[in-house]
Chain A
Amino acid sequence: MEDEGNDGLTVADNVIHEPEGYKSIGLASAGAFSTTGGLAASVHTVMACAARPVGDGGDYFTAWVANDTLHVGLNGVTGTTAVTGYPLTFGVGSTLASATIGVLDVCESYGKIFFVVRGYKQTAGLTTSASKTMTGYMDY
């Protein structure tokens, strides 16, 4: 790296200048959600979403809050579940006012995607918040 009079900013020699485009995530379509936890008979608003790239084929591991529930899945699609209680329902009992995915970290090992995720929601009264967390894996 060299400083070429950039007032403290340095110029890296191997910066990737060409963006690689972007990959779409199918969260906007009702068909992208499993009815076991995401959008049921009617479309629910996705309040929060976060994604991390996995593999080298343009896939993303995603986490999102919709229908008062925290979900995870590949490219916005949940799979089947072997875990009792998934997806995780916040169940605070009031209208969902806001939500965020506070933590999402992903890694790959021996054919599995391992993830940690934490979602938060706040009610319409702005006095109640709740969080849900998952640490798990799925086949990839």
Chain B
Amino acid sequence: MSKASPPSNPPSGSAYSIPITDDGLCCAAFRDFVVVGGLDSDPYSIRWCAIGDPTDWPTPATDDARSKQAGSQTFKSEFGVVTAIAGNDFYMYIFQTNAITKGTYVGGDVVISFDTFEEGRGCIAPGRMAQIDDKVFFSSGKGYHVLENDQITDIGLSIVDDSY
């Protein structure tokens, strides 16, 4: 067991800022964006900041947002609220209660393209997803799974799923 190390001294004088008043249930970094999901105004949607600037959140569908590639996306409400987001430098997975959508940066007017590739399994609640490198572990209403390279593997068959 490696020796525990003390936490570093936190930076002094760090200021908090609240760039948007629309609170969310989850957030993640995806390429040059920060993405927030499960918004108070629309729990079935996500919203992302200006490219390369997590402090700037222009109102979606405005000229300011379009010029900075900021925006938002709403998903089908039948699949539940957005509960988790897993992102890396290439793509992100947006989890609703009963669906998973892959987001890929394309730039231009579209900015991000979305493909809902799983309808049935999703992340059952905020905090029930863990990401390790390219593997995303999550808990759905049907058990425990791992998502990697757009493939979902059931990892809790029998004992684990039956117990929990």
Binding site for B on A (CB under 8 A): 1, 7-10, 18-26, 55, 57-60, 72-75, 77, 79-83, 86, 102-110, 112, 114-116, 118, 133-140
Given contacts A59-B10, A79-B12, A135-B36, contact A9 B159 (CB under 8 A): yes
* B27 lies within 8 A of A58 (CB): no
Main secondary structure of the interface of B (DSSP, over half): loop
* A114 lies within 8 A of B160 (CB): no
* A105 lies within 8 A of B126 (CB): yes
- Minimum Cβ distance to chain A for residue B97 (Å): 15
Q: In the complex, which of the residues A58, A79, A136 contacts B18, with contact meaning CB atoms closer than 8 Å?
A: A136
> In the complex, A64→B118 CA distance in Å?
35
> In the complex, A10→B13 CA distance in Å?
48
Given contacts A23-B7, A74-B10, A82-B15, contact A18 B2 (CB under 8 A): yes
Number of interface residues of B (CB under 8 A): 46
Q: A26-B7, A79-B11 are in contact. List 5 more A-B contacts (CB 8 A).
A: A75-B8, A103-B26, A112-B55, A114-B54, A140-B14
Q: Chain A contacts of B70 at CB under 8 A?
A: none
Binding site for A on B (CB under 8 A): 1-8, 10-29, 32-34, 36, 40, 52-55, 84, 87, 126-127, 155, 157-160
Q: Chain B contacts of A23 at CB under 8 A?
A: 4-7
Question: Closest residue of chain A to B12, judged by CB?
Answer: A79
- Minimum Cβ distance to chain A for residue B161 (Å): 8
> In the complex, A134→B24 CA distance in Å?
8
Given contacts A86-B16, A109-B29, A137-B19, contact A74 B54 (CB under 8 A): no
Q: Chain A contacts of B29 at CB under 8 A?
A: 107-109, 114
Question: Closest residue of chain B to A56, judged by CB?
Answer: B8
Q: In the complex, which of the residues B4, B6, B8, B16 contacts A82, with contact meaning CB atoms closer than 8 Å?
A: B16
Q: Which of A80, A86, A102, A103 has the most CB of B within 10 A?
A: A103
* B159 lies within 8 A of A7 (CB): yes
* B6 lies within 8 A of A109 (CB): no
